[in-house]
């Protein structure tokens, strides 16, 4: 390959990645705005319940509701899927391979007490990943209420309506994803060191499904 051809290919790839990055940034900004609006509406509807929006940085924000926290983060890089991924088999992607390049927004669920009591060993769950391409089409890999079929990638556009739906579905999933008692045999012993550390709420791990294999993790 000669210099001019290579230069052209690099420039075209850079433009593609820049377009996707800008689309993802715009979408993340809209996620923040929608989350603020949703939390404000819920605060007015149920003022006795904890509903909090907090902007952490350009690439992260969180919403607190009840005993849960959802943390939304945007990755700064653009990704492509492996050849084995179901998305790569869609006619929409086969017709234009550039459509498989996507920006990514992650949605994590934590217990609010994990942060309030500085329990550094507690575990959160990735409940959804939103992928956005050059045409602002999107799909979601996620749990139950959050997930969206890959086959809709060719018709699903990331906009205010879809963003509201993603946020509300994520909140619904977290609200329905209850904290269960861990199996007795897995927590029946504890060292003196762990008990001492536990007095400052920093060592004994708490998570919604600690010690359990549950059906949602197979979906």
Domain boundaries of the chain, sorted by first residue: 8-178
Own/partner long-range contacts of 139-142 (Cβ < 8 Å, ≥24 apart): 139/87, 140/166, 142/107, 142/170, 142/173
Q: What is the pLDDT of residue 113?
A: 86
Return the bridge partners of 65, or none: 51, 68
Q: What is the pLDDT of residue 72?
A: 98
CA 52 – CA 214 distance, rounded (Å):
29
Residues in the chain, pLDDT under 70: 143-149, 179-219
Residue 85 phi, psi dihedral angles, 5° rounding: -65, 145
Percent helix, strand and coil across the chain, each rounded to 5?
45, 20, 35
Q: What is the pLDDT of residue 118?
A: 80
Render the burial of 62-93: b for 16+ CB within 10 Å, e for the rest.
bbbbeebbbbbbbbeebeeeeeeeebeebebb
This prediction has a pTM of: 0.84
């Amino acid at each position: 390959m000669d210099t001019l051809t290579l230069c052209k290919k690099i420039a075209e790839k850079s433009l593609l990645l820049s377009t996707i990055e800008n689309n993802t940034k715009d979408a993340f900004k809209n996620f923040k705005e929608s989350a603020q609006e949703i939390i404000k509406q819920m605060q007015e509807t149920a003022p006795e319940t904890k509903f909090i929006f907090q902007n952490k940085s350009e690439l992260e924000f969180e919403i607190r509701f009840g005993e849960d926290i959802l943390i939304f983060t945007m990755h700064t890089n653009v990704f492509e899927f492996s050849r084995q991924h179901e998305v790569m088999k869609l006619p929409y992607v086969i017709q234009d391979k550039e459509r498989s390049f996507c920006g990514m927004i992650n949605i994590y669920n934590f217990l609010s007490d994990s942060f309030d009591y500085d329990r550094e060993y507690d575990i959160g769950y990735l409940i959804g990943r939103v992928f956005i391409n050059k045409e602002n089409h999107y799909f979601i890999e996620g749990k139950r209420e959050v997930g969206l079929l890959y086959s809709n990638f060719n018709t699903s556009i990331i906009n205010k309506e879809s963003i509201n739906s993603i946020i509300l579905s994520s909140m619904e999933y977290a609200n329905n994803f209850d904290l269960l008692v861990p199996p007795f045999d897995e927590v029946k012993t504890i060292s003196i060191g762990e008990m001492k550390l536990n007095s400052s709420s920093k060592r004994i791990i708490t998570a919604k499904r600690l010690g359990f294999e549950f059906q949602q993790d197979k979906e």
